[in-house]
Structure 1
Amino acid sequence: MAFNVNSNLLLGAGHYQANPRCQKVLTDHLVHSIENMSSTARRTLSAQSLQTTSSQETSCVTPTPTTSTPHPHFPEFSTPQVSTMKTPPLSPIPSSTQIPSSTSKSLTHNTSLRRIDNICSRRASIQKARASSDSVHFPTNKFSNEYAISSETKEVTLENQLIKKQPIEIRVRCIFSRVGEIDTLNERYTAEFFFEASWYDESQKIGTKYDPQMGHFNPQLVVLNHLGDSLKHEKWYSITKTTGDDTVEITEHHKIRGVFWERMELNHFPYDVQELSLSITTPLTTDDIYFMQNKEKLSGVNRIVFSDEQSWHLYEHVEFTYEQHCEEYSLNQNQVHPVVVCTCHVGRKCGYYIWNAYFLIFLITSAALCTFAIPPSNTQGRLQITCTLLLTSVTFRWVVNKSLPPISYLTALDVYAISSIVALCIINVFHGVISYFYYTQIYLASSQPSLTPQAINVSLYPEYSLCRLDRYAFFIFCSSFFLYQVLILLCTLWVPYRRRLEMSRKDEEIRTEIMHKTTLD
């Protein structure tokens, strides 16, 4: 009777009834090995595996007698190796080395059974060892599966950490196409911007249309410092092929108009230099993108259209600063979002405040020095003039402060006005003290019982001495007042003047860079 290799193997495995567990293990391994082999290898193996097994086992195992009767087709039975790899076809055995059929039947039967027993015993011992280890460390199969899954998860996480995604570079450019009115009192200004954001995308092909709604990458830029519903935002895209490789550069163009909030730094008012900024952020985190100034396309300021030119001087250069904002009130506080701040500078034209504030305060304070021309005996006239000048200076200061926001620190104009008020108070107190000493001396002299000529001269002497003291005080006050004017002007003007010089130097640098770039092009 002719049997194929599958029927021979299964028949030989079913003939062995000594160990039921071995029957299942053997069947599984045989079927798995036969399925992994090619058809040619199966035919070759079915004819020669018995002879190969007999030749390998004869050199190391001595055959033992057995009482079992071999199956009639048992010589064709082959026991392949238990392996997960495909077994290559065996080369034919020379006829000179073949074993006689009568000897090979009994020998092969015994050795095959012993080989099956060894395989089954090893498999059983392995299963027992695994069961014991599982019973020690993990009481149930559920825990062992969870442990295996967690190990695989850790390996995947480790691989992801090793292959970390790099954030995308977003190159930005900003042009202040129009700067409108600057409201210092309400800390806001109106402006129109042209903003560009460019990035490289290897997945995007040249000639195809870019559409963020189709799953293409987009930085999702948002204006941060606009006020109310005044924002008008237009957006479009362009694709440019880069030189040298197949990547394309995608540029997102923005046209932004509206009213924007800006915190005014008024420490050096009215010689201050203010920053007008546009803040752009994104819902993406710093792990996804980061901003960088575009060096190939220069940023700038259009100074031709500037409606508040009478009060401010607009500088030409644009500066970029990069910040990071954390979501303080969100559930995930670890998310840090990048922010780019595009800034231009304006310098206040201080001529109006010099003539209408500084100069008038100077005249009011200097008028108080004229009270020293009044004799010390006329105390009422001196105090009346100085108190009137003091009230005038306080009222004038309140009028000047109406053009400034309610801030918690002193500006340069506040320092000058308050110091002038303090000077008026000191002069007023001095006149009161001199008058007090004068009338005290006169009262002591007039209280004598007899008025002789000598007593009259003594009574007039305090007035002469107080007049000399008053004259010395006048010279001291005048010299101190003018020295203070020089010092306070130097202190208040030195820092703003240096900053204005720095802004002018940066304007010269940007002009030189533009001329150089134009010449190269």
Structure 2
Amino acid sequence: MALNGTNNLLFGAAHFHPTLSSFRRQTVNTEEQDISRIDQLASSAQSFQTMIPLISLCTSTSYPRLEQFLGKKPSISAITSSSCKGLAASASLCQLNDLFSQTSCSISKSNVQDETMNKSSRSYTESRRPSATNSHEKHPPIEILVRCIFLRVGEIDTLNERYTSEIFFEASWLIKDPKTELEYDTQADNFNPQLVVLNNMGDSLRHDKWYSINKTNANGLLEITEHHKFKGIFWERMELNHFPYDVQELSISLTTPLTINDIYFVENKQKPSGVNRTVFSDQQSWHLYEHVEFSFEQYREEYSLDYDQIHPVLICTCHVGRKCGYYIWNAYFLIFLITSSSLCTFAIPPSNSHGRLQITCTLLLTSVTFRWVVNKSLPTISYLTALDVYAIASIVALCIINVFHGVVSYLYYNQIYLATYLTPTNTSELQLSLYPEYSICRIDRYGFLILSFIFCLYQILILLWTFWKPYKRRRSMKRKDEKNRAEFMNKISNSEPPSGI
């Protein structure tokens, strides 16, 4: 630390307290050396005026702040030489001792001042820290009214589980601050919900945000509305249990670094949410419903230091239903034809087992290949869809028919072998030896009837399940659309003034 005439030596010593004792010893040694030099000058009958430069030199080098304390007394340079002629050398030394005693007193006073300054700084820093009582003070959470409008829904990629959309979102809350009537600035310590999108993919999100202020009639409160416009690619997990009769949810998930003790979300009933269905680029494959649903969840940051903090999550969802006509004609109908063709193999006599097995094995390989082609349009999932169940059931039916033909072929050739080596003793054995296909044809006929009945029953059950389970949700979505439309029309009719006004 560089020392000069304006720096405080004691202030520097307060910061370098480990070397304070060594510094004081050096100061005492320099004082003793200065006193000895002054005694030598006094003993050599020099005047007091010759000692003044030496005193000032010692003061400027050893005690930079000594001049400030000496300034409070009459200056040494103001004393005339005539007043010093009658003074003895001892008297001059006594004045010098008094001078150094005043200096040491001033140094001790400055040490006390530094200690008080350190105490005051510590008290200031402690006062700046949040106290325990303030940290445990609980404030009621702020209610955030939310509204969401899907302005445009773009391409829905089932294979990669994502969709493109442009979304308008509003978050409103009430404040009582007359200073924010013109402009709401979040940089001026004003409240900000700090909303963050969770399910956007990569850097594709384009986010615009602005504020608006509306006056309310309730106690002079102001309604602050934060407007957002999101545009990008959003990830969405596809639920494909009922594929191709599935109804998918297209949602946007929003959260905030604030906890549930700070804010909570509520759907805005005064401003309805909805979906713009006029601009829908994928309408050839999907049917877009017009209502929007809100769900409120909570999540905990598992890898943060504050594990006990729970954050609110808002999920805004619109729904789309897949148009299944393409898959009905190009998947279900073709699988039905392949499976039903296997029943025609019963027209071949049991003696021609080679022809039966060749046809059924060819149909089996065709059905397996067709299934792999259909699955290329679906993501890799660990469960079976409705189309998978139907296709696998058809493959199982082909395998059963193939095994049945093999068993019938084995029984036929076994009867021929027995008829060759048996000597007929009665009429039945004679008939068996002459017509070995008689009993085999009867078994084959019963097998054809049973398998045909099971196949037709399975097709009827598939149709009933389709109308009962997957289409049940579609009917529910349609009712919600009608309800949402009726509520919207009621709000419009209630907001219109009477015709007489």
TM-score by length of 2: 0.70
1:494 to partner: Cα distance: 1.5
1:447 to partner: Cα distance: 2.6
Using the alignment, how far apart are the partners of 1:292 and 1:314 within structure 2?
A: 25
Alignment partner of 1:398 is 2:381: no
Contact between 2:424 and 2:433, CA under 8 Å: does it hold in 1? no
Using the alignment, how far apart are the partners of 2:432 and 2:471 within structure 1?
A: 59
Alignment partner of 1:250 is 2:237: no
Q: How many residues align?
A: 368
Using the alignment, how far apart are the partners of 1:321 and 1:478 within structure 2?
A: 49
- Residue in structure 2 matched with residue 212 of structure 1 by the alignment: 186
- Residue in structure 1 matched with residue 271 of structure 2 by the alignment: 297
**Paired residues for 1:316-355 under 5 Å:** 316-355=290-329
Using the alignment, how far apart are the partners of 2:190 and 2:132 within structure 1?
A: 28
Using the alignment, how far apart are the partners of 1:229 and 1:382 within structure 2?
A: 59
Spell out structure 1 runs of 4+ moving beyond 4 A. 156-163, 448-456
Partner residue of 1:279 out of 253, 262, 268: 253
Q: Deviation digits for residues 84-134 of structure 1, max 9, x if unmatched?
A: xxxxxxxxxxxxxxxxxxxxxxxxxxxxxxxxxxxxxxxxxxxxxxxxxxx
Alignment partner of 1:434 is 2:432: no
- Residue in structure 1 matched with residue 243 of structure 2 by the alignment: 269
1:346 to partner: Cα distance: 0.3
Using the alignment, how far apart are the partners of 2:218 and 2:308 within structure 1?
A: 39
**CA separation of 1:297/1:217 partners in 2, compared to 1, >3 Å: closer, same or farther?**
same
1:493 to partner: Cα distance: 3.5
List runs of 5+ in structure 1 lacking aligned partners: 1-155
Q: Which amino acid aligns with 2:410?
A: Y
Contact between 1:176 and 1:300, CA under 8 Å: does it hold in 2? yes
Q: Which amino acid aligns with 2:260?
A: T
Q: Which amino acid aligns with 1:483?
A: L
- Residue in structure 2 matched with residue 509 of structure 1 by the alignment: 483
1:462 to partner: Cα distance: 3.1
| SS of corresponding position for 2:179 | coil
**CA separation of 1:371/1:275 partners in 2, compared to 1, >3 Å: closer, same or farther?**
same
1:158 to partner: Cα distance: 9.5
1:159 to partner: Cα distance: 6.8
Contact between 1:205 and 1:248, CA under 8 Å: does it hold in 2? no
Contact between 1:206 and 1:241, CA under 8 Å: does it hold in 2? no
Alignment partner of 1:408 is 2:390: no
TM-score by length of 1: 0.68
1:163 to partner: Cα distance: 5.9
1:460 to partner: Cα distance: 3.4
Contact between 1:205 and 1:247, CA under 8 Å: does it hold in 2? no
Q: Deviation digits for residues 333-357 of structure 1, max 9, x if unmatched?
A: 1111111000000000000000000
Using the alignment, how far apart are the partners of 1:407 and 1:449 within structure 2?
A: 62
**CA separation of 1:162/1:460 partners in 2, compared to 1, >3 Å: closer, same or farther?**
same
- Residue in structure 2 matched with residue 121 of structure 1 by the alignment: none
1:446 to partner: Cα distance: 1.3
List runs of 5+ in structure 2 lacking aligned partners: 1-129, 496-501
Alignment partner of 1:491 is 2:465: yes
Q: Deviation digits for residues 176-215 of structure 1, max 9, x if unmatched?
A: 0000000000000000000000011123535332111111
Alignment partner of 1:288 is 2:262: yes
- Identity between Structure 1 and Structure 2 (%): 70
Please provide the CA RMSD for this pair: 2.2
Using the alignment, how far apart are the partners of 2:402 and 2:483 within structure 1?
A: 54
Contact between 2:291 and 2:481, CA under 8 Å: does it hold in 1? yes
Alignment partner of 1:377 is 2:351: yes
**CA separation of 1:162/1:211 partners in 2, compared to 1, >3 Å: closer, same or farther?**
closer
Using the alignment, how far apart are the partners of 2:346 and 2:458 within structure 1?
A: 19
Q: Deviation digits for residues 338-386 of structure 1, max 9, x if unmatched?
A: 1100000000000000000000000000000000000000000000000
| SS of corresponding position for 1:169 | strand
